[in-house]
Amino acid sequence: MVTTGALIHGDRERFLRFDAAEHPLALQLGGSDPAELARCARLGEEHGYDEINLNVGCPSDRVQSGRFGACLMAEPELVAGCVAAMKDRVGVPVTVKTRIGIDDRDSYEDLCGFTRAVAAAGCDALIVHARKAWLKGLSPKENRDVPPLRYDVVERLKGDFPRLPIVINGGIGSLAQARAFLDRLDGVMIGREAYHNPWMLAEADKVIYGDGHPMPTRREVLESYIRYAEHQLAAGVPLSAMTRHLLGLYQGQPGARAWRRAISEQAHLPGKGTDLLRTAAPRA
C-alpha cells in the first residue's frame, strides 16, 4: 500500500519497484482525491501492476487524518467517484478493500448502500474484511482482533450482489477453511496466517486448484529466495529488510526457534550476506 501523496511527491521508482517473480501483483492506493488516484493508478499500470486496489479498510488515526482508509465507508459516493476516475484511466482491474462497517454506521443497509455505489462505478471486485472498524477507541492492532468476525454478513452480501466478485478476508487460518468459503464466495484473502506461517501456502495449488505437481522442500524455497535476495542486495536493499519475511518459514519444525533467533540477531549486522541464511537453516 502506498499513498497518492507519496507517489506524486516522493521517490516514485522506489515505491513502485518490484520483482518479476511477484506477478500477479496488486498496487493498493491510499487516498480520496479522484484525480490523484486516477493519476497514481495510471502510474501503477505503466509500471506493470496487474490490479489497482483502493484502501477503504485501514482504521489508523494517521490514515483518518489523511481522509482515506476505513473512514471513507461513510462517503460511498466519494469512493464511487474514485473508482470511476481510476477505471477511466486504466485497463487493469480496479478493486476495493473494505470492512463490513465503521463505528455506528454498521447496519447491513449501510454496507449494501456502499457496495451498490462502488459496483455501479465499475468496481471489478470487493474484498471484504469481515469485521467492522472502530475509528475511535481501538488501535489498528485491536481492530484486527476485537470486533467480532461476521462471515455471515459477507456471504449474505454475495447473495444480494451475485454479479459482483466478492472476496472474504479476516481470521482465515487454514486452506481447508479457505476451500469451504470458495463454495460460496469468489475468493479468499489470507493475510496474517500466511505471513506468520508461509508454509501453509505450499499446498495451496494442490488443495485449492487440484494441481498434482510435487511440493518443493523448505530448503528449495529458501534457495530460491536466496537467489532473489542476492539480486536485491546488489541493488542496495538491506538484508534485514528481506529476512524478516522469512521468520516463519520453519514454523513448527525442529530448529525453528534457533532459525528465528539467528536471523533476528544477525541479519542487521554490517557485512552480513545470504550465507547467514544457509548456515542458520535447520537441517532436514
Which residues are part of the catalytic machinery?
Answer: 58
∠ CA 164-165-170 to the nearest 5 degrees? Answer: 125
Task: For residues 240 and 233, give the distance between their C-alpha atoms in angstroms, rounded to a whole number.
Answer: 10
In the three-class reduction of DSSP (H, G, I as helix; E, B as strand; rest coil), residue 17 is classed as coil
**How many residues are listed for the chain in this entry?**
284
Whether cis (ω within 30° of 0) applies to the bond prior to 24 is yes
φ, ψ at 240 (rounded to 5°): -65, -25
φ, ψ at 30 (rounded to 5°): -110, 125
Q: In what order do the strands lie in the sheet with 94-99?
A: 2-3, 26-30, 51-56, 94-99, 125-129, 166-169, 187-189
Which residues contact residue 144 at a Cβ distance below 8 angstroms, ignoring those fewer than 6 apart? 131, 192
> Which residue is it, cell 502510474?
43
Nearest to 121 by CA among 215, 38, 64, 19: 38
Beta bridge partners of 167: 127, 187
Task: For residues 132 and 115, give the distance between their C-alpha atoms in angstroms, rounded to a whole number.
Answer: 15
